[in-house]
Amino acid sequence: MPDLLQQINPDKLPVHIAVIMDGNGRWAKTKGKPRVFGHRNGVIAVREVTEAAAELGVKYLTLYAFSTENWSRPAIEVNALMSLLVDTVKKELATLNKNNIRLRAIGDLQQLPDKTHKALLEGIEQTKDNDRMTLILALNYSSRWEIVEATRAIAAKVRDSQIALEDIDVNLFSAHLATRDFPDPELMIRTSGEYRISNYLLWQAAYAELYFTDVLWPDFRKEHFYRAILDFQSRERRFGKTSEQLAHAI
């Protein structure tokens, strides 16, 4: 593992990494345990990846913790996930502060249970001055929800003559998304062998490099995270240009 770490070029780190933490339920099933057991062990991976990202110097890490579609899971699982979030945020607060990590959240937070919402807002408030890395939890989040919300907000401003129709462009639209304070992710990782984006940062991932691994989220460790970054660093990011154009730009 130290070898992997040494191979990483610190000058070519993705500034923002987004993760779809998938496979908790299947991991639990292989062990003959309830799905919640998988989520609880998923927290260990959350801790590992957060630590690894901060140590490397990644500035933004976004984790998909709960989608707007996840409400349709059995109530027992939804409740357990909400409690787990409260417990984890409370338990990890001191560590976040010790490591100078700022907590933020994106999603329809008002619709979360009061306890979860409150713990989250407290965590955000108590870490707001930290500036080493921003850990963003996507909670009750989905891209379609976010894009519809942004569209509504922009339409209302046009209606109220605060902006003109011609003012609407990519930058203005981005400035109305939940991620307005953060740069777009450059690397998106999904675990558990699924090859989908699942309504996650669809606008923001326009140029993200996608990385898929078969590892189930509770088994995901620093070593797997380093591999994803090394893979990212081996790719040529062209942003619609040709290789030749990129070579001449240097």
Can you give the binding site for ligand FPP, defined by CB under 6 A? 21-26, 35, 39, 42-43, 46, 63, 65, 70, 84-85, 88, 137, 192
Q: Provide the minimum distance between the beta carbon of 35 and ligand FPP in the complex, in angstroms, as a whole number.
A: 6
Pairwise CA distance, residues 150 & 142, whole Å: 12
For the stretch 124-128, contacts whose Cβ atoms lie closer than 8 Å and that sit 24 or more positions apart, written own/partner, are 126/93, 126/97, 127/93, 127/96, 127/97, 127/101, 127/102, 127/103, 128/102
Give the pair of three-digit tokens for residue 134. 């921003």
**Does residue 52 contact residue 11 with C-beta atoms inside 8 Å?**
no
Rounded Cα distance, 98 and 95, in Å: 5
CA distance 149 to 145: 6
Give the nearest distance from C-beta 212 to ligand FPP in angstroms: 14
Name the catalytic one among 22, 24, 41, 140: 22
Question: Hey, which residues does 210 pair with through a beta bridge?
Answer: 188
Q: Among residues 9, 11, 24, 70, which one is catalytic? A: 70
Cβ proximity to ligand FPP, 65 vs 154, nearer residue: 65
DSSP per residue over 177-231, as a string? STTTTSPPPSEEEE-TT----TTSSTTTTTTPEEEE--S-GGG--HHHHHHHHHH
- In the bound complex, what is the minimum distance in angstroms from residue 45's beta carbon to ligand FPP? 7
Looking at the Cβ atoms of 105 and 154, the one nearer to ligand FPP is 105
Q: What single-letter DSSP state applies at residue 31?
A: T
The residue among 80 and 187 lying less far from ligand FPP, judged by its C-beta, is: 80
Nearer to ligand FPP, 13 or 216 (CB): 216
Any catalytic annotation for residue 167?
no
- Give the CB-nearest residue to ligand FPP: 25
Biggest CA-to-CA distance, the chain = 59
- Catalytic site includes residue 131: no
Nearer to ligand FPP, 39 or 224 (CB): 39
The minimum distance between CB 5 and ligand FPP, in angstroms, equals 24
Report how far residue 143's alpha carbon sits from residue 202's, in angstroms, rounded to the nearest whole number.
6
List residues with catalytic annotation.
22, 70
